[in-house]
Structure 1
Amino acid sequence: MKYNPFKIILWILFLVFVLLNSLRLFIYGFIISFMIVIIDRAFFGTRKRSDHQFLNLFFAFTSIVALFYTFSPFFRSLEFKISHPKWQKLEVLSIQRGATSNVSTPFNFLEKTYTPVTINYLDVDGKLQSRREEIKHYAILGFEPLFKKQIIEKELDYIHSRSLNKLIDKKAVNLYQHPFKNSIKMFKGNDAFALRHSIGFQIALLITYLLFIGLTIYCVLRYKQLKTAIKSTNIKEQKKAYIILFIVMCTYLVLAITVLHYLKF
């Protein structure tokens, strides 16, 4: 299999993305991909096809699992509970909040807002314990004059306050204690998806902005070539053109949703 610079960069980003989460994600992607390849090879495919297919499946499924692990508190808590069955879940009694603060970058762009909280819980011996943590949410990545900082602050304050109140009212914190050590693992929230709690949200937006600009310019300059490729009988060229257009549409969709949400405030 030949690797061009684009594929090498893609695989490096893939490795960094997964390693920033958990090595277990590689295992999940490998098992799912291996099972699909074995079934396909036994009943439908050939060895050559299976070898190439495995890499694509491994990349796709591991990325999907990593995406859920990054942005889904419920999935992350459930995965830990299944993969660490001997860890004991602790009872959370109450959560007390502190003063909320904002953090800006050196260029005066709003980065995140956070609130310190004190979690009161019972340990495995039934004794009352306290743990201090920070609940944080990241702001929309916006650059003046297109995005006003005051509106971004207002939008972030709304997101943070709503999520923080929900977490405190429902005591939506999952604490697990190691069976043999005085080690505790904490998961904040039970939402299916919570995009704003991770810096991955801002990284994803930045990549989307760059793709939006770069691919828009590319499509304008290569309009005739793309049109010819779509009508071509060459499957490889046609596939490449459709992939580019699909990515372009995705970036436009994400950008449109971000702008509409920004305009609400």
Structure 2
Amino acid sequence: MAMFVHLTSAAGAARIRRSGIRADSRGPGGERGVYCFPVLPSYTLTHQWLRELARRGTRGGMVAVQVRLDDGQPVLAGHYAGRRRDGHRPVSAVEAVRLIAGRDDPQGWEVFVPRAVRPGEVHRIRSAPQVTGWRYWPGSHGTRPCTCFGCRVRGEYGGRRLRERLPHPLDGPPPPVPVLLGRIAAAGNPGDPRALLDALHWFGTRRRGPVPALAPLAAHPDPRVRRELVWAVARWSTPGTADLLDALAADPDPGVREAVEDVRAAD
């Protein structure tokens, strides 16, 4: 039996003991499953993902869930940087352990199990201190962190102070909502895509926004605008956001539908 560790929020520990680990993550090929890492002799390497996962926000801290998988269980193993380049190799569970343990530097490597982990496969659950591992990427210590909108994590501890100390030249404070709505109105009907994409980019940096004012863009003829609309409202807590995403989930463009699936999978 091959042993792996899955790192997750402590809030789900009771559910994992009762029902196992749900297949909530999206794999390199789009399938649903569970990410984990082999249990190696080095505690630091085994739990290397702790700080990176913890900075995205947890409830009650992190726990390490050790799971036992059959040696022949099909998995995908590879470096996280290769997810979008088909860089993950289909191997058995025991081969994944050998592959990663045999590397000179296994930092950044991961194993994806393309299914849920059953309760009987959960070996034990224990607390995991969030001081182990790397942040941002392996070897990033000593490198100036990027504070652009694409790199920063909303709600990250110390994030506001970091952005104030290291402001990004392209992602400063967003224009006020009336200014953005004025730009959308000035774009015409159905609207210049470039102007709409720029306005939607800034709306995406907010926690809330005017859903009724943006809802007509769901019918814009340019699918790029509809995709950007998905990302703009994805993290909003404004009433009506879920209904707008439901409508975009049935969009005729596959890219728009995939965008809705991606933002919902990230929740």
Fold shared per TM-score above 0.5: no
Q: TM tier, shorter chain?
A: under 0.3
Say which one has the larger Rg.
1
Q: Which has the higher contact order (CA 8 A, sep 6+)?
A: 2
TM-score, length basis structure 2 = 0.26
